[in-house]
Amino acid sequence: MGAHVTEDLGAVGAGDVLGEIGDKETSEGRVHGDELYRYRPVVAPGAWPAVGSSCATIAERGADLKTRKSNSQYVFKIALARRRAVWRKIALPGGQTLDDLHRAIFHAFDRFDEHRYCFYFPKPGIRGRERLRDAVEYGQPTPGVWDAETATLDSLKLKAGQGFVYLFDFGDRWWHEVTVEQIGGVGAGDYPRLVEKHGSSPPQYREVR
C-alpha cells in the first residue's frame, strides 16, 4: 500500500491521506508539492459532457494512442463512494490507459482543477477495511505504484463484473467505486465516450456552492 493511504472508515473502507501539502496558486495552474497541475478550461456545470460525447481531451496524445490498437471496448460504471446515486458510465477501447480513464472521469464529473490520483485493484475475495491494504496501485509512478499512463486496459486482464477503486485528490479525497460493466467489440467514433450519466456532479471543492 502506498505511503499516502491508511484507514478511513468513513470512505470506502480504504484510506485517509498522509503528508498533505498545501496547494499554491500560480498564473499557470495549481502547485501541489513539487508538481504543477495546469488549469483546464472551466466547463459550465450541466452544459458538458452530453451522453454520447467524447469526454476526455487527449488530442495531444493522439499519435501515441494510434499505436495502441485494440479490438476490445470496456464500459465502466463510476459511482461516488458517498453518493452512490451519482454515477457515470464511460466506454474506452482496450488500447487506452488508466490515465485516459482518469481524464474521462475528470471531465464526466465536471471537474476543472487537476490533482493527483490513484487506482486500487484489491485482491479477489477481500472486503471491508482490508481491501486496499495490499491492493495493486496505479497512478503517478512512485515506489510501490505502477504507472497509469502506460497501463493499457487490455494489459490489466479485466473481467466483466470486476470492481476496483479510484481516488482523486489526496487532499479532499474523492473516492469512487468502479465496476467493469461490459467488455465487447470496439465501435466507431471518438473515445473515451460518456455512455450514461445519473445525478448532478457535486462541486469539486466542498466549500463551493
- pLDDT one-digit tens code per residue, 128-169: 778 888 899 999 888 889 999 999 999 999 999 999 999 999
pLDDT at 15 over 70: no
CA distance 97 to 186: 15
Provide the pLDDT for residue 187. 81
Which residue has better confidence, 181 or 142?
Answer: 181
pLDDT at 65 over 60: no
In the chain, % of residues over pLDDT 70 = 66
Which residue has better confidence, 131 or 7?
Answer: 131
- pLDDT tens across 33-53, in order? 444 434 333 333 333 345 555
CA distance 130 to 12: 10
Provide the pLDDT for residue 83. 87
Q: What is the mean pLDDT of the chain?
A: 75
3.10.129.10, 3.30.1360.120, 3.10.290.30, 2.40.30.10: which CATH number matches 5-44+54-198? 3.10.290.30
Provide the pLDDT for residue 12. 41
Provide the pLDDT for residue 33. 45
Per-residue pLDDT band at 29 (split at 50, 70, 90): very low
- Among candidate residues 191, 153, 185, the one with its CA nearest the CA of residue 61: 191
Annotated domain spans of the chain: 5-44+54-198
Q: Highest mean pLDDT range out of 113-122, 183-192, 197-206?
A: 113-122
Please give the grid coordinates belonging to residue 63.
Answer: 499519435
Q: Are 109 and 90 in contact (CB under 8 A)?
A: no
In this structure, the dihedral spanned by the alpha carbons of residues 161, 180, 83 and 14, taken in order and rounded to 10 degrees, is 80
pTM of the predicted model over 0.95: no
